[in-house]
A and B are shown apart, each in its own frame.
Chain A
């Protein structure tokens, strides 16, 4: 009995010291990168792809010899679509695993829940998804689109090319659609659209029964003016929405729908034949015809061993964000977050649509805006591309609360919400 207990003790101690040793060994030889994407729960549908994309990028970088002569090591955690768990996992990544930077989150609520952790522990978060703006943090880099890099150009396109005069703003009921629609409403009114020509409608997460709303859209559209739907409907709710549109015979030629959250991945669960011509606005489409993109798709398919695997916009955002981080670390000569925050502003890396994206002082990046129409093969055909690159506008100029705010994280200003009217740092937000 005693001997057995003794043996177990020895074994346990051995095991512990072995892991400790291994940990120390690993810490010296590799740079750790945290991947904070849900692999289970409702968001797994979107986020699992991004986890794979990050693993591929890290793998590719290691083939090139890693960073600063060290190999990169991915630390994958699963926050399970549970917002408080995002904060806990982020803390684990930074405190226990000592990662140099974290790539992750999807939806603003997950980002908001990890913010205090990143501020307190002073680490880096690269957030790859389009969001509503009205935020700029020292520790966060927003590689997805701000409203002016997605929503506003899309509305302009519809007004100019399709002659749209009546607008339905349909969204899921949470912070991103509400803020984006607020900005769009202010923008449309500034352009002279009457209040009765705008209809706003919100639906709960995962809404399934779209009959009433689609029929309302048809009713709204029969007022003799060209009508379009601007959709900020998120996630799973899109499939039944588009099915209902198709079945009720709402054709893109009559009432086009432009979506900000529907990409190649979401269309993969749909027969897109009845949807040809409906639009989406992104900064990247899989169908973009450039050599870098062709190479990226090839690597991606080889990495996932799936010839049909699609790519999408948030993947490109991670591609850009990761390369920016690598470049900034090499410039700073260290992975220390404070140094990287200083060196990353101004870093330019190629994006996948044939240009360069630059990290701006407001921690947002420059991007082109593409408007694409859905094709019968589930891909998008680009019908419009902004001639130049747009800088992400963190504080919208169309909202009274934020129009005087700017953000510049370079020294000596180092402020995320500088009020140009009062000349002081600190307005809305913290």
Chain B
């Protein structure tokens, strides 16, 4: 059975490619004329020609269409012949559209590129889908099935039915069936066919199903209309559940961004009590470190690009840590116990750092690329999860746990806590308090730096990067309770989730305002935040 099926498909495919030269020796001439005519006319005319060409079912057209979508199709100005060409400065390397063989080189000035717009790209996507539905390559077939599904049309029905009959790969077959169902809803087939199609579509249970059925709803009546209405109602209720889950996920993801930005400040401000206005600039410097690392990788070791973030992490930690150390030694240590002066001095430092970066790297955004494992997303039931957000959630958790470990389980952490709780006692026990201060500040700055590496993936890398995080960071630390890491965690996540749950109902602008009002009210009631420290250290 299996063997027979495979044979069947191979035969079908062979028919297309082996019989094509015989049956289409004349058609090939036509094809060439049609292909050459792609170089003329406006977008909608070209789109019609693509549809016409794809009806020939000639699989050799696929590279031509792919080149068209990629903008690699050129027309020779003198005789209007169309070529597939790769541009290399001013020279084009030409390929024949029918034979796929090299056709020499040409000067760019003698050719005109065939322009594409979204309409054409859609037409090409559908055409390639239809042409490759019978391809022996599983990946290609899957892509073809998806593209036929995303733009269903009556014309594709017969082809789909042939493809379904010979398909034995489960997932591909079900997409093909859904594509067929979507096409049936657009056709004038019998009522029973359409009702069956509605059932097939509902099984998808996602937004695409919603979209197809809503479109069909308009021109359906009687039994079919009732079916569709019921199906839509069901889909809406399923979607509402997923939406709730999605909002909570968004909240966690926003919360983890806030956590990353604030956790360094939780050390410098929370533990040491320094109002560090230059905290945001440490984040910014971390992001610029990522940019520099990527620039070096791009120019010298392009194959390492996916590792760029991992290389940038320790570098960013060291660089911002060192800068933090020198700020502490050079400025802040003279200002302990004078919070206003500290605030002004660190604010000055933040301006200097910003303008410094602006002078070196320029005022405009710098491109920090996403490694392949951080771009795109995947569907999880009815939710869309994007990789960059997912990794940032994981990364924030990892940074938080590491920091907790350092504070609670290492000697340095012990000394740090000792110094902040009772400086005199710690000093008389032989702890070098000035050095602990310096290293604590360096640690907080270093963590801000690695936060910058992560945030470069979702934000602009510009000199203003840090400014936009400083207020949020202070908000989280104060809300969570000064001096308590767990408070920072709970503060960040609850602010994130509340923000994202409010946003769909009252909009982003009002949501942000409401959050600020809530925080003000909360601080009025509990000035020390969620988790207030108790004990002598607080009163001191």
Contact = CB atoms under 8 A, between A and B. Distances in A.
A259 to B, nearest CB: 14
A269 interface: yes
21 contacts: A44-B363, A161-B44, A173-B509, A202-B508, A203-B509, A208-B458, A219-B207, A222-B214, A224-B215, A224-B218, A225-B214, A236-B365, A244-B386, A247-B375, A249-B376, A249-B384, A252-B121, A254-B150, A270-B365, A271-B367, A277-B117
A24 interface: no
Interface in B107-154: 115, 117-119, 121-122, 125, 150
B376 A218 contact: no
A274 B367 contact: no
Q: Which of B363, B376, B377 has the most CB of A within 10 A?
A: B363
A92 B44 CA distance: 56
A5 interface: no
Given A44-B358, A249-B377, A375 B458 contact: no
Interface in B444-496: 458-464, 467-468
A279 B217 CA distance: 30
A41 B462 CA distance: 11
Contacts of A206: 468
B246 A215 contact: yes
A302 interface: no
A253 B125 contact: yes
Interface in B321-350: none
A212 B243 CA distance: 10
Given A224-B216, A225-B214, A277-B121, 17 more contacts: A45-B364, A48-B363, A202-B508, A203-B509, A204-B509, A204-B512, A208-B468, A211-B389, A212-B500, A218-B207, A224-B214, A224-B215, A224-B218, A240-B460, A243-B458, A248-B377, A375-B71
> Chain B interface mostly helix, strand, loop or mixed?
helix
B367 A270 contact: yes
Contacts of A48: 362-364
B197 to A, nearest CB: 15
Contacts of B71: 375, 381
Given A209-B254, A236-B460, A247 B386 contact: yes
B212 interface: yes
A380 to B, nearest CB: 12
Nearest to A205: B468
A218 B504 CA distance: 13
Contacts of A212: 247, 250, 500, 503-504, 508
Contact of A213 (B117, B355, B463, B508): B508
Q: Which of A209, A216, A225, A269 has the most CB of B within 10 A?
A: A209
A265 interface: yes
Contacts of A204: 508-509, 512
A428 B247 CA distance: 44
Interface in B360-419: 362-367, 369-370, 375-377, 384, 386-389
B102 interface: no
Contact of B509 (A202, A240, A375): A202
A209 B389 CA distance: 10
Contacts of B460: 236, 239-240, 269
Nearest to A371: B117
Given A212-B500, A247-B377, A269-B461, A252 B118 contact: yes
A45 B71 CA distance: 31
B277 interface: no
Nearest to A377: B71
B13 interface: no
9 smallest CB-CB distances across A and B, nearest first, come from A269-B365, A224-B215, A224-B214, A222-B211, A247-B386, A44-B363, A222-B207, A203-B508, A383-B117
Interface of A: 39-42, 44-45, 48-49, 161-162, 173, 201-204, 206-209, 211-213, 215-216, 218-219, 221-225, 236, 239-240, 243-244, 246-249, 252-254, 256, 265-266, 268-271, 274, 277, 279, 373, 375, 381, 383
Contacts of B370: 243, 271
A398 B44 CA distance: 31
A44 to B, nearest CB: 4
B290 to A, nearest CB: 13
Contacts of A201: 507-508
B242 to A, nearest CB: 10
Q: Which of A224, A265, A270 has the most CB of B within 10 A?
A: A224
A247 B388 contact: yes
A216 B508 CA distance: 12
Nearest to B457: A243
Contacts of A246: 375-376
Contacts of A213: 508
Contacts of A208: 257, 458-459, 468
B118 A253 contact: yes
Contacts of A203: 508-509
A27 to B, nearest CB: 32
B220 to A, nearest CB: 12
A41 B355 CA distance: 9
Nearest to A218: B207
Given A248-B384, A254-B150, A49 B364 contact: yes
B3 to A, nearest CB: 38
B364 A268 contact: yes
Contact of A161 (B119, B216, B358, B376): B119
A6 B364 CA distance: 50
B440 interface: no
A356 to B, nearest CB: 25
A291 to B, nearest CB: 13
Contacts of A271: 367, 369-370
Given A212-B250, A221-B211, A383-B43, A42 B377 contact: no
A44 B500 CA distance: 31
Contacts of B365: 45, 236, 239, 266, 268-270
Contacts of A268: 364-365, 367
A39 to B, nearest CB: 8
Contact of A253 (B121, B363, B369): B121
